């Protein structure tokens, strides 16, 4: 889910000797920035289905976004049937994934928008393995606040208000939980807090689900490969730090329970109350540990 460690999990998996997972953080010193290479394949392509799926991206985004991987295919919408067009995109996406896989055995891709189009993903790629991370909504709201700060839409000193919290809750978080509950396909769902508190155990769960094994050393290398410090490494002179974090990287170190520093207790209780039923149902449906 959004603001729930997407790039952390991708980096963890990508650090396995037989698993490739993208996007990960790429450092471009000549540009002085990191670049995250998301392709938003499924949540953009699903827009062809009309109003069937919520929170899809505009199909024309393929024309100029996502490293132009699909840009030359966009005009074909006018001359091909939807079935033929989907086949072209699947062929291109499969080739792109194969390139990202390199010499490894399997490859995966991540996007927070995919939670809304799970049946569409299964239709295009039957038996696709899917991993979802859920996180305490209060911490997600704090993370969203700092995302807006980074983009210049809010000031860091702005208080997290009830209006701000429930806007994000109603527009994003609750619909995500509802989609998880309505989905009847195969998926592994883990909690951010569980992965944070016991990474070895939860990394093993992911590997079992993906049909892969790893030595204790491999698992430790995966954990180190996904570490925040590793993901935000830059050359001397390029880092712009505040409170030990590089605020230009686009990533923020997600500390479980950090909400206590930014959300007043009465508002926190309101958020918990609003999410209580949905959270319990998701944990029960996917046999998650609290």
Mean pLDDT of 20-41: 66
Helix residue spans in 60-154 (DSSP H): 82-101, 118-124, 137-150
Mean pLDDT of 45-74: 95
Residue 182 lies in a domain: yes
Residue 106 lies in a domain: yes
At residue 38, the pLDDT reads 81
At residue 12, the pLDDT reads 92
Residue 240: pLDDT band (50, 70, 90) is: low
Mean pLDDT of 140-165: 92
Beta bridge partners of residue 188, listed in sequence order: 131
Write the CATH number for 267: 3.40.50.300
Residue 243 lies in a domain: yes
- Tell whether the torsion through CA atoms of 98, 15, 112 and 200 is positive or negative: positive
Residue 172 lies in a domain: yes
Q: Could you tell me whether strands 106-109 and 19-22 are parallel, antiparallel, or unpaired per DSSP bridges? A: parallel
Q: Total structural domains in the chain?
A: 1
Nearest to 134 by CA among 193, 91, 84, 186: 193
CA distance 253 to 70: 32
Per-residue pLDDT at 180 exceeds 70:
yes
Per-residue pLDDT at 66 exceeds 90:
no
Question: H or E element: which one contains 258?
Answer: none
Query: Which domain range does residue 258 map to?
Result: 6-285
At residue 24, the pLDDT reads 60
Residue 290 lies in a domain: no
Confirm if 268 and 261 have CB atoms less than 8 A apart.
no
Residue 281: pLDDT band (50, 70, 90) is: very high
Confirm if 49 and 170 have CB atoms less than 8 A apart.
no
Residue 159 lies in a domain: yes
Nearest to 146 by CA among 9, 286, 249: 249
Q: Please tell me the number of Cα atoms within 13 Å of 180 on its side-chain side.
A: 29
Confirm if 155 and 98 have CB atoms less than 8 A apart.
no
CA distance 23 to 38: 6
The share of the chain scoring above pLDDT 70, in percent, equals 86
At residue 99, the pLDDT reads 92
Residue 86 lies in a domain: yes
Return mean pLDDT, the chain: 89
Per-residue pLDDT at 131 exceeds 80:
yes
Residue 1 lies in a domain: no
Per-residue pLDDT at 279 exceeds 80:
yes
Give the model confidence (pLDDT) of 91-104 as tens digits.
999 999 999 999 99
Confirm if 262 and 144 have CB atoms less than 8 A apart.
no
CA distance 160 to 142: 8
Report pTM.
0.87
Instruction: Output the CA angle 173-285-204, nearest 5 degrees.
Output: 90
Confirm if 51 and 62 have CB atoms less than 8 A apart.
no
């Amino acid at each position: 889910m959004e603001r729930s460690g997407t790039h952390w999990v991708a980096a963890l998996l990508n650090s396995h000797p037989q698993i490739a997972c993208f996007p990960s953080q790429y450092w471009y010193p000549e540009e002085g920035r990191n670049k995250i290479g998301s392709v938003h394949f499924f949540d953009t392509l699903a827009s062809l289905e009309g109003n069937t799926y919520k929170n899809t991206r505009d199909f024309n985004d393929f024309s100029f976004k996502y490293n132009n991987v699909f840009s030359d295919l966009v005009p074909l919408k006018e001359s091909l049937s939807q079935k033929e067009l989907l086949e072209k995109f699947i062929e291109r996406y499969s080739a792109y994934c194969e390139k990202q896989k390199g010499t490894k055995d399997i490859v995966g891709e991540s996007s927070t928008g995919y939670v809304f189009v799970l049946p569409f993903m299964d239709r295009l790629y039957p038996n696709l393995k899917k991993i979802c991370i859920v996180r305490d909504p209060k911490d997600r709201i704090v993370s969203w606040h700092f995302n807006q700060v980074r983009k210049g839409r809010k000031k860091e000193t702005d208080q997290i208000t009830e209006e701000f919290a429930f806007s994000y809750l109603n527009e994003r978080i609750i619909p995500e939980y509802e989609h998880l509950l309505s989905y009847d396909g195969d998926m592994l769902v883990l909690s951010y807090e569980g992965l944070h508190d016991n990474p070895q155990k939860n990394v093993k769960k992911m590997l079992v689900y993906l049909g892969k094994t790893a030595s204790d050393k491999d698992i430790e290398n995966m954990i180190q490969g996904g570490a925040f410090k590793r993901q935000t490494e830059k050359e001397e002179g390029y880092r712009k730090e505040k409170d030990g974090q590089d605020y230009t990287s686009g990533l923020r170190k997600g500390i479980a329970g950090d909400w206590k520093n930014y959300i007043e207790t009465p508002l926190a209780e309101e958020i918990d109350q609003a999410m209580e039923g949905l959270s319990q149902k998701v944990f029960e449906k996917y046999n998650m540990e609290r």
